[in-house]
Amino acid sequence: MKNLSALDITIFVIYFVIVAGYGYWIYWKKKKAVTDTHDFFLAEGSLTWWAIGASLIASNISAEQFIGMSGEGFFAGIAVAAYEWIAAVALIIIAIFFMPVYLKNKIFTMPQFLKQRYNGTVAMIMTVFWLFLYVVVNLTSILYLGGMAISGLLTDAPIGSPQFTQMLHIVMIVLAFFALIITLGGMKVIGYTDVIQVTVLIIGGLATTYLALTIVGEKFGHGKDAIAGFKVLMDQSPEHFHMIFDKPKEGASQLQIDRYLVLPGIAMYFAGQWIVNLNYWGCNQYITQRALGADLKTARTGILFAGFLKLLMPVIVMLPGIAAYVLYKENHLPGFNGSKDTAYSAILAFLPSGLKGLSIAALTAAIVASLAGKLNSISTIYTLDIHKKYIRREATEKKLVWTGRITVWVAMFIALIFTWEDILGIGGEGGFTFIQKYTGFISPGVFAMFILGMFWKRTTGAAAVVGVITGLVLAVFFNNYAPSVLGHETWLYSAFPTQEKVDGVMQEVWRIPFLINMGWSFFFTMLIMILVSLRGPKVNPKAFILDKEMFKLSKGHIIMIVITLLILAGLYIKFW
C-alpha cells in the first residue's frame, strides 16, 4: 500500500476494532432493539444529549465535506465556511421552534409529518422522492467520494487506470460492509458508535490541519510552526480569507465569476443559504431522526451541542484546502494536478507515519457514520411509511425490524451498482456540486411546505402539492432557462458566463448563482402556496396546535445559544 507504514495500518485496525466492538456490545446490551421498531429506528429515550449531538455531526460530516468542502476551500477560500457557520444558527432555530412541534405531535418520520398535517397523497409523493434521493444521490455520492479519497491514499496508480479502479472497488466494498455492520444494530448502535466516530473525526481532522499548517510554515522558511503557517496562508492568499465576495463587475476574471456563482456574496445570506441549512437540518429524516426519540430538553441540548461543534468544522474540512492552494501556487505539491476534489488527498500525502493512519481513520469514520445514518433513514422511511401502511399492515414489530434490515442491504446493493462504474457521473461534476445540485432542486418546495405547515394554520393539502411541484419547476427554470428566456440582467438576478460541458464539449453558458435561484424559487413557491391556501378554510382542521410554552428555553439553553452566537459574530467580524 502506498506509503503506509505498519504503524498506520495498526492505528486504522485499532479504530475498526474499537468501533465494531463497541457497537456489538451496545447491540447485545440492548436486545430489545431486535423486536421494537421505535427502539430500532429511533433509539427511543436512550440517546443522551451528547450522543445526539455527536451523531448529528458524524452523520453530517462525510466525504462531501472532507473532499468537497476542502476542494471548495482550495477554490474559493473561507467563504465556503458559510455552509458550516450558518448551520450553527440554523440548528439553534431548529432546537427552539421545530423540535417542539415534532415531539408534541409524536412525529417519527418526515412522511408522517406530511400525512398528519396535510394528507396521504402529499406524504406518498415525498416518501418516494426521499427514498430516491437518499439512495441514488446521497448514498452513492458518499460511497463514491469516500472510495475515491481513500483509494488515492492507498495506491500510486493514476485515477482511471485498472489498478486504481480495482482499489476503488475494494475500498467501496469495505466501506459498505463496515456501514452495514453498524446499521443492522439499529439507531442506538449508530448513535453511540457515532460518539467514537466523531471523536476520531475531530482528533484526526485537527491533526491533519495542524500538520498542513506546519508544512506551509516549513516550506516558506518559518520552521514547523502552525501559527506561522496560518499567517503565511493569509499573506500568500488574502483573497481566500474573505467571507463576502463582491459582485463581479465588467472585466472581472473568470475565476472571480466562478467563485461568485458558487458563493454569491452578501446576497446568499438573503436567499438560498438559509433554505439549504434549515431544510437540511430541520426537514430531513436523515438528520432529525437522531433527536425524534428523545424528550424535548435532551433533544434541544443535543442539537445546540451540534451547533457549537459546527463552528469547528471549517478548521477541519476547509483549511487543508487553502493550505493545498498556497502550496500548489508555489509549486510545493509535486504531482498534484490542481483538481479541487483531490486537494485534501494531496495534503494527506505529506503526513508522517502514524498520523496518516489516524487521518485515514478519521476520513473512514466520517464516511461510515454518514453511510450508516443514511441507511437507517432509508430503512425507517420504507418500513414505517410504505411497508407497514401499504404492504404488510398487520406485520409484527419483529417482522418490521427484519424488513428494515433487508431494506438496508437492498439500498446498499443499489448504491454499489450505481457507483461501480460511476454511472451518475459524480466524479465529473465534483462531489460537493453534485449533491448541492440535485438536493437543491427540491429544497425550496419542501422547506416552504414544512414551514407553512408548522406555523400557518391555514395551509392546505392542495397548497402543499402545488408547492412541491412549483418549487421544482421554478428551481429548474431559474437554473437552466431563465437567462435565455428573461435575459442576463433583470431585477431578480444577474447571470454570468462560465464554461461547462454540454454534450461532452466545453461551451460558454450563462448561469445565475445557485443560491440566488433557490431564494427566488422559495419566495415564489411560498407566495403561490399562500394564495392557494387563502381559498380554503381560515383554520385547516389538520393544523397543529401551538402554544407559547412549547418554545420556552431553559437558562442552560440560552447560555449555549449566546456563546455560539458570540463566537460566530467574532468570526464574521474578523473575516468579513
Place of cell 432529525: 288
Question: Using the 8-state DSSP alphabet, how is residue 488 labeled?
Answer: S
Q: What is the pTM of this model?
A: 0.83
Q: What is the pLDDT of residue 542?
A: 87
C-alpha–C-alpha distance, residues 268 and 291, integer Å: 29
3-state secondary structure 382-437: HHHHHHHHHHCCCCCHHHHHHHHHHHHHHHHHHHHHHHHCCCCCHHHHCHHHHHHH
Dump pLDDT digits (tens) for 55-93: 788 777 766 677 777 888 888 888 888 888 999 999 999
Question: Does the domain made of 6-238+267-436 have the CATH classification 1.20.1730.10?
Answer: yes
The C-alpha atoms of residue 397 and residue 463 are separated, in whole angstroms, by 35
Q: What are phi and psi of 40, to 5 degrees?
A: -65, -45
C-alpha cell read off for 46: 436512550
- Partners of 511 in the beta sheet? 496
CA max distance for the chain: 72
* The pLDDT value given to residue 7: 83
Three-class DSSP category at 380: helix
The DSSP code sequence of 440-455 is HTTHHHHHHHHHHHHH
pLDDT at 33: 46
**What span, in angstroms and rounded, lies between the C-alpha atoms of 571 and 575?**
6
Task: Name, in order, each residue with C-beta under 8 angstroms of 485's C-beta and a sequence gap of 6 or more.
Answer: 477
DSSP element (H, E) containing 487: none
Pair 89, 568: CB distance under 8 Å:
yes
Cell of 125: 409523493
Cβ–Cβ < 8 Å for 110, 126: yes
Distance CA 469, CA 386 (A): 22
What integer pLDDT is reported at residue 51 of this predicted model? 79
The residue with cell 414544512 is 450
Count the residues in the chain. 576
CB 259 within 8 A of CB 247: no
Per-residue pLDDT of the chain (576 residues), as tens digits, is 556 778 878 887 887 787 777 676 766 765 544 455 555 555 555 678 887 888 788 777 766 677 777 888 888 888 888 888 999 999 999 999 999 988 888 887 788 888 888 988 888 888 888 888 888 888 888 888 788 778 877 777 777 788 888 888 888 898 888 888 777 666 666 666 667 767 777 887 788 888 888 888 888 877 778 888 889 888 888 888 888 888 888 888 888 888 888 888 888 888 888 888 898 888 877 677 767 777 889 889 999 999 998 998 888 888 888 888 888 888 887 767 777 767 777 777 777 777 777 777 777 777 877 788 788 888 888 888 888 877 877 777 778 888 888 888 999 899 898 888 777 666 655 555 666 667 777 888 889 999 999 999 999 999 999 998 999 899 889 988 999 999 899 999 888 888 776 666 778 888 888 889 889 999 999 999 999 999 988 888 888 888 888 889 999 999 999 999 999 999 998 888
Q: Which amino acid is at 449?
A: M
Q: Is the dihedral of CA 275, 276, 278, 279 positive or negative?
A: positive
Any idea where the domains of the chain sit in the sequence? 6-238+267-436, 441-545
